Structure 1
């Protein structure tokens, strides 16, 4: 019997309340540590997607990584550059549901066949064309919208996208290179990774850029912007091909099947334009969009992601703008049918006439969906919105911009550019705030 005494003593100790509570606490701690380790590994794997040789940047800190590869508290609300509009929609669930209902009713109206099932409508969606829309048998029209952050490109891109139901919209393909501008040096013509990527995308060559396809696949704003690709992915999913749009080959095929390929690109100095225009393998047109730098810096100051000197420093941004504007007259003279300069502030004076001029340059007819998009009656104070009255919107920045902190520094740094663009320099704050005094003083000298 004595041999069982230690066992009985052990049982009494284990069965005591304090011992049981200690064991439970230990188990809980182990479970928590395991969960945290799993989350940490998951985030590391997500960040590792971009750690290829083209995407390393020792000058960028962890906060930048959080923004581009994760959803930090600040970045979740800030969105990403001009794509902030698309990410902001995710926070407006009720509006999104209503928009979904409107689109569904619109699709039913356009089908013109009450007996057509929803599945049949999706299958035929890519084949529908309006009377004047580019036909599939015609050569694909490739449009490169070249601009900088907060210059009105989201608005203009949405307008151009509506030229066809078969528009493949390569929205911000250089987004993964973060908030910086790649200039071209005088001492060499070697292509930088962003230029190589853009060159390949002009030919719908996604096979050479699997990292880009993987990156964009996880971005909701990209799927919302590129509706043609989104419809193809949705159709493939309904046919049991859910992984199709993860394939660079499939994405390339969808891109090549489009009537129009619209590419909105930031982060490149205009000095790279000649390199691409002189490439005989490429057939595309450039729309180079510029906006009043005072309005640009004002808009950038209201978003949290604009932290780099090339984005927020008036001296740097004005220097980059001056370099770009020096290229404009030369490109217009040497490539008159392939390069067009656009001043956003001038476009907004008469957006309907401006649209007609742009489409004439592109050799495409104005579409009903484009004119409908211009029917907004009020200016929007939502920095994410693209549905806004363009003329009112063009002046709205003046009523909410600091004259001392934004206007005066930009006018000093961008003096020559403002003169070239035909924009007025405001000597006093009173004149700046008087919206009866137009910002456009005369036609641009470009």
Structure 2
């Protein structure tokens, strides 16, 4: 009996120990599984390759094909499908990881002190013989002052698809690290241009939207804010807003790009507000310029329509008549050019005509002229963009030798299918712009024969 009792006790003790050991191994196994899952998640988030650190427009933008104007997925938040941000830059940044974006933002904002002339912080001084800036202890900086004491420069870049707006927009944006870039606010209205009838003064919703944006009123356009917050290309182009939203995710709960109030506040806090508009005919500009509550300047950009339609032919999203039909394109251009001299005469300090082909003849001088008109000084970040010595065949690159790039389209354009039809439809506009009308294919393909014969006369 004693032996059986001891045996029973031993079995009970061993069973208890086995259960404890089993429990321990179960716990160890659970910890191992959790560790493995965490490791896998971390590895999955690692970038497959390291992107070259360069300006955001240096890589090709067009990543996906346009599925058609009536595609229901156009307004979705999906990153697949429609790839036209106003016809230019949509979906370029889809492959960039969050880590890479944050690193590039740090690089871009490393020179925060260099901004528009006249924005030198109150209480700051420059040491003689150096470029260092010193803030006197205890003195208030410009960032501490209320926004209403600072004057914001508002600029509208008004043009059409493939007219050089990507390049010029990036050049203008670089005038300040605090540039709020309203990049293609009419993008959600698809690939079309809204013209104005002479006998109709009713403002279209698109014009009302632009009017509100000129005063940073995003509260009235929650649908626009919701649309733009899901677009990587928009927050990347508008880096002043995009970086604030990134920081907000980690530090400030109210820093939310889905909040119209926050976006409006960020817009009003910027030194420069640049708006790029591609979907309105120039006839709508007068209604905005005559509004006494608005203070802004317009840069209207025109380009050789043969080059424009040649460039549009090489992008998949341009499949609407408004975009690809020479007759419609030339009619819209003629209407705009007829409006230019009137606006220049009535609003000489607020409206300026720019001819892309003329700008490319001497980009440095042209940049100085543009900045003088805006009352701003040329910044080092702008001149860097003009230092490229070679041209690029990338249709979305902004790093290019401007003079060579301006003629590159001629080497890959059909004389019969593009040049001749456009010359027939745009004959009067070509003459106004001082552009040569090519008589033969040989003459057209000879790049020693300049397309620009004389200065534009409007």
Q: Which TM bucket (shorter chain)?
A: 0.7 to 0.9
Do the aligned partners of residues 256 and 377 (structure 1) sit closer, same or farther apart at CA in structure 2, a change above 3 Å counting?
same
1:262 Cα offset (Å): 0.3
- 2:60 maps to 1:80: no
Of structures 1 and 2, the larger Rg is shown by 2
Contact 2:88 2:162 in 1 (8 A): no
* Match of residue 65, structure 1, among 72, 77, 82: 72
Distance 2:108 2:289 in 1: 39
The alignment of Structure 1 onto Structure 2 pairs a total of residues equal to: 365
- 2:132 maps to 1:132: no
The structure that is helix-richer by fraction is 1
* Match of residue 363, structure 2, among 335, 341, 351: 351
The SS at the match of 1:261 is: strand
The SS at the match of 2:439 is: coil
* Match of residue 406, structure 1, among 393, 418, 442: 418
Q: Which residue of 2 aligns with 1:116?
A: none
* Match of residue 312, structure 1, among 324, 334, 347: 324
Distance 2:410 2:257 in 1: 43
Do the aligned partners of residues 236 and 98 (structure 1) sit closer, same or farther apart at CA in structure 2, a change above 3 Å counting?
closer
Distance 2:433 2:415 in 1: 20
Contact 1:66 1:72 in 2 (8 A): no
The SS at the match of 2:382 is: helix
Do the aligned partners of residues 433 and 133 (structure 1) sit closer, same or farther apart at CA in structure 2, a change above 3 Å counting?
farther
1:134 Cα offset (Å): 3.3
1:362 Cα offset (Å): 0.3
Structure 1 length normalisation: TM-score? 0.77
Structure 2 length normalisation: TM-score? 0.75
Distance 1:229 1:73 in 2: 23
Note the residue ranges of structure 2 that are not aligned, 5 or more in a row.
Answer: 1-66, 121-141, 143-148
Distance 1:152 1:71 in 2: 28
Contact 1:81 1:150 in 2 (8 A): no
1:68 Cα offset (Å): 4.8
Find runs of 4+ consecutive structure 1 residues off by over 4 angstroms: 60-63, 70-74, 96-108
1:391 Cα offset (Å): 1.2
Deviations 1:290-335 (A, max 9, x none): 0100000001111111111111000011001001100001000010
Deviations 1:402-424 (A, max 9, x none): 11110000000000000000000
Do the aligned partners of residues 351 and 321 (structure 1) sit closer, same or farther apart at CA in structure 2, a change above 3 Å counting?
same
Distance 2:176 2:268 in 1: 14
Q: Which residue of 2 aligns with 1:208?
A: 220
Do the aligned partners of residues 406 and 419 (structure 1) sit closer, same or farther apart at CA in structure 2, a change above 3 Å counting?
same
Alignment of 1:23-422 (within 5 A): 63-69=70-76, 75=82, 78-84=83-89, 87-91=91-95, 93=96, 104=106, 110=111, 128-130=113-115, 132=117, 134=119, 137-241=149-253, 244-422=256-434
What is the RMSD of the two structures over their aligned residues, measured on CA atoms?
2.3
